[in-house]
Amino acid sequence: MAARASFAALVHAELAEELPDVDLDEDLAGFLERYESPACTDAEAEEEFLDTVRQAAERLERGY
């Protein structure tokens, strides 16, 4: 259980480093479900952002 918590902390730390200006919940899957696109945004940058969060959520789900 401690190893899983350490892994989750590592994934969140990496995500915070990659996206320093974004305040993400611990529950990344929930964040993705509740995410609403800002009205004025760069579609490509937004897709990259969402892909980064999705990948982190998938890593947490897989456990590696």
Tens of pLDDT along 23-50?
888 899 999 999 988 887 788 999 999 9
The whole-angstrom separation of Cα 14 and Cα 33 is 21
Can you give the residue range of the structural domain that contains 30?
A: 2-62
Stretch 1-15: mean pLDDT: 90
Query: Using CB atoms within 10 A of its CB, is residue 47 exposed (0-12), middle (13-18) or buried (19+)?
Result: exposed
Q: What is the CA radius of gyration of the chain?
A: 12
3-state percent breakdown (helix, strand, coil) of the chain, nearest 5:
70, 0, 30
Alpha-carbon distance 58 to 64, whole Å?
9
pTM for the model = 0.84
Total domains, the chain = 1
